[in-house]
Each structure stands twice: as C-alpha cells, then as structure tokens.
C-alpha cells in the first residue's frame, strides 16, 4: 500500500494541503499514522479524499457528507468503510490520461478542428486544457473520433454521436445500477452482520459483468443494424437500376 506525506496526498487527490487539514478538522478524514512528527497517509485516505471531492462537486455540504460517513460507520468497521470508498472511487476503465498539443490535435482532425467543434469537444471534456497542452481523459475516444473523421464523417457529426452515446450509456448504467442496488446490494446491507468489505467485493464482481453485458449487446446491435442498413442501400440501388 502506498504511503503519502500530506503534500503528496493533496496532489494525488487533486486538492490542497489546506483542504486536507480542513477535512480532518471537520472529522471527515481520519488522522494519519504518526512517524515521529510526520503524518503518514495511505491509499485509504486518498480514496476518502476523492470521495469527499466527488460529493462536494455534486453539491453536498460538509454537514451532509459528515452525516453520510457517520451513518456508514455506525456499528461498522472503519477499515471496511475505507475499503468500500476505495472500491467506489477506483476508475472502472484501465485507460491512462494522455496529453496532446494543439498541433497534434490539428494533425488528427485537420480543418475540421474549427472554433465550434473545439468548443464542443471542450464542453464534453474529451480534451481538457492543461497549461500549454490538453489532457485527454480517454485516448481511445480521441483516436476513434480521428479515424471516423478520416473516413469522411464530419467532426461535428462525430461529436454529436459521442454526446448521444454518452447519454445512452448514462441511462443504461442507471438502470443496471438500480437493479443491482434493489436486488443485490440492498438485501446484503440490510443485514447488520454484513461487513462493508462484502459490499465492496460484490461491486468488484459486478464490474466485469457489466462490461461484458454492454459489449455483447452492442455487438449484437451493430450486427443487426449494419445488415439492415446495407440491405436498404442494396434495395434502393436495385430499384434505381430497374427504374432507369
């Protein structure tokens, strides 16, 4: 398990040392282990900081976050709670952020990279300004978009498809998560004897299953749709030939 000094912890969590101390003062972050006069933090503290940051971004107040944590901790093991937080805040994707310059983006998208398309890409967080370069949260999406543009699809259309796909995935994820919450997580957490570690293990087991389900349905849908579109074009071509 990694160990952090307070400045390293703050940097890894994308926050400030001042915020770390504020969260500790408010009882939201457990105290560090002491090595002499130095506080040593762990991955569990990093997971807690990321959870706090996520909840604050969603509009929760310190009071709300404190109530949430207290409710989970009441009668529960703190180690299990921190373990669950780590499960909840660990990215599902194995992608690693990449960085590109404006010149590299121009090489990928050429003249399609006008002001309107750039503004749309920034709004969708497909690229994020980072000093004199751009952070790319999903290199796969960036390069998939580049290949579609090279195939002749306008970048504005590609960006529209990306936004629609993101909305579709959000709806599907909510339905899937709600079903899991209602029929798997809720019955499990209703038992006082259930440890939070068990809940975390359940979520970890569901991660690859969700990915497999999405991949399988997408593959079937693409196969059906491509066949239908090709057949329609062939029929139109045949009708046009017969008419002439």
- On whether the CB atoms of residues 105 and 222 are closer than 8 A, the answer is no
Report how far residue 9's alpha carbon sits from residue 41's, in angstroms, rounded to the nearest whole number.
7
pLDDT higher at 167 or 87:
167
Res. 215: pLDDT tops 80? yes
Per-residue model confidence as pLDDT tens digits over 25-34: 998 998 999 9
Sequence-distant (≥ 6) Cβ neighbours of residue 197 within 8 angstroms: 80, 83, 84
Is residue 52 within 8 Å of residue 14, measured between CB atoms?
no
Q: What is the mean pLDDT of residues 4-31?
A: 92
Two structure tokens written together for 194:
């259930």
**In b/e form, how buried is each residue of 85-99, taking b as 16+ CB within 10 angstroms?**
bbbebeeeeeeeebe
Q: Report the pLDDT value the prediction gives residue 89, as an integer from 0 to 100.
A: 59
pLDDT of residue 123: 95
Predicted pLDDT of residue 192: 47
The pair phi, psi for residue 39, each rounded to 5°, is -85, 130
Contacts 24+ apart (CB under 8 A), 92-95: 92/207, 92/211, 93/138, 95/137, 95/138, 95/139, 95/140
pLDDT bin (cut points 50, 70, 90) of residue 228 is confident
- Cα separation of the two ends of the chain: 74
Per residue in 117-134, pLDDT (tens digit) is 999 999 999 999 999 999
Instruction: Render 68-104 in DSSP notation, one character per residue.
Output: HHHHHHTTS-HHHHHHHHHHHHS-SS----EEE-HHH
Q: Where are the domains of the chain?
A: 3-89, 98-159, 168-243
Alpha carbon distance 224, 232 (integer Å)? 12
Read off the pLDDT of residues 127-182 as tens digits, 9 standing for 90 and up.
Answer: 999 999 999 989 999 999 999 999 999 999 999 999 999 999 888 888 877 776 67
Most confident of 65-69, 142-146, 177-181, 192-196: 142-146
The more confident residue out of 114 and 241 is: 114
> 5: exposed, middle or buried (C-beta count within 10 Å: 0-12, 13-18, 19+)?
middle
pLDDT of 142: 95
Q: Is pLDDT above 80 for 217?
A: yes
Cα separations (Å) of 38 from 12, 33, 34, 107, 121?
A: 18, 8, 6, 48, 43
Q: What is 3-89's CATH number?
A: 1.10.1660.10
What is the side-by-side order of every strand in the sheet holding 33-35?
3-4, 38-42, 33-35
Query: Is it the case that residue 78 has pLDDT exceeding 60?
Result: no
- Cα 105 to Cα 64, 131, 135, 146, 152: the distances in Å are 42, 15, 11, 9, 17
């Amino acid at each position: 398990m990694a160990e952090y000094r307070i400045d390293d912890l703050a940097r890894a969590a994308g926050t400030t040392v001042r915020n770390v101390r504020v969260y500790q003062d408010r009882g939201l972050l457990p105290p560090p282990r002491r090595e002499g006069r130095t506080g040593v933090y762990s991955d569990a503290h990093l997971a807690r900081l990321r959870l706090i940051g996520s909840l604050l971004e969603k509009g929760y107040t310190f009071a709300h976050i404190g109530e949430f944590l207290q409710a989970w901790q009441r009668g529960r093991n703190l180690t299990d709670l921190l373990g669950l937080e780590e499960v909840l805040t660990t990215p599902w994707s194995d992608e690693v952020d990449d960085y590109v310059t404006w010149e590299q983006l121009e090489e990928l998208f050429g003249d399609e990279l006008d002001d309107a398309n750039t503004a749309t890409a920034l709004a969708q967080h497909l690229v994020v300004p980072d000093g004199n370069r751009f952070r790319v949260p999903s290199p796969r999406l960036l390069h998939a978009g580049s290949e579609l543009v090279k195939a002749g699809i306008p970048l504005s259309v590609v960006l529209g498809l990306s936004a629609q796909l993101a909305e579709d995935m959000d709806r599907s994820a909510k339905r899937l998560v709600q079903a899991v919450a209602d029929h798997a997580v809720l019955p499990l957490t209703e038992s006082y004897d259930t440890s939070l570690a068990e809940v975390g293990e359940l979520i970890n087991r569901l991660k690859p299953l969700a990915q497999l389900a999405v991949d399988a349905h997408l593959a079937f849908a693409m196969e059906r749709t491509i066949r239908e579109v090709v057949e329609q074009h062939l029929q139109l071509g045949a009708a046009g030939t017969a008419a002439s």
